[in-house]
Amino acid sequence: MTDWKRTIGSFGDRHIQPLKLKWDQLNQRERRLLGLLGGILGLYLFQLLVQTTLVSPYQRYRDEEHSLRSDILQAITLSREIRQSQQVIQERSRTLAEDHAGFSLISYLEQEADRTHIRSAITQMTPRSLPPDGNYHTTLVSLRIEKVDLPHILLFLARLERSRHLIRITHVTIERRFDHHRLLDVRIDVQSIQPT
């Protein structure tokens, strides 16, 4: 008999034989209980095996897929926002190019005042050139309008806000007249941006 067979035989005599003797000493009920416990242990081990080999990798792949899907949606949203920004930039560039032909903020304000019937109420129109910013120069015009009613001034402001030119209202002050409460005194600062 070789050494490894002898080793296996001695291991069986020491460990397996006592277990066999104990099994033979058990009655039918105890054997059933041990079988039931063995079955529960086997099911638990099987569940652990399935969990580690199938469920955990599947859950990991699902998490990765969810993360990837979220990244794709974020990239689509950013791409849409970039396209919208590019369209706004193109529109503004087109407007700047058109205004380069000779847009005058004072003339434009006078035209809008005529259209909204408040030209006669303008008592002061003061232009100021602000320091250039890169390739653009900024003009600021301060208007003082006296004895005007609210609907006319709101219409004037709305027309300025909807202008196709690159202008913006930077400051508005409205005060009620002490001598006539339905009329207002208004100060408006309007700024325009043009290429140099």
Q: What is the pLDDT of residues 147-157, one digit of tens each?
A: 999 999 999 99
CA distance 196 to 132: 8
**Going by C-beta distance under 8 Å and a sequence separation of 6 or more, which residues neighbour residue 144?**
122, 123, 124, 125, 185, 186, 187
| 60, 109: one domain | no
| 49, 70: one domain | yes
**Number of domains making up the chain:** 2
Choose one of 99, 117, 137: the last residue of a domain: 99
Token pair listed for 75: 């990239």
| 184, 158: one domain | yes
CA distance 157 to 118: 11
| 44, 117: one domain | no
| 66, 14: one domain | yes
CA distance 94 to 87: 11
| 122, 49: one domain | no
| 94, 11: one domain | yes
Domain with 47, as residue range(s), is 1-99
| 84, 6: one domain | yes
CA distance 145 to 165: 22
Q: Name the least confident of 84-98, 139-153, 169-183.
A: 84-98
pTM score > 0.85 for this model?
Answer: no
| 144, 67: one domain | no
Residues 62-111: tens digit of each pLDDT: 778 888 888 888 888 888 888 888 887 677 667 666 655 567 888 889 99
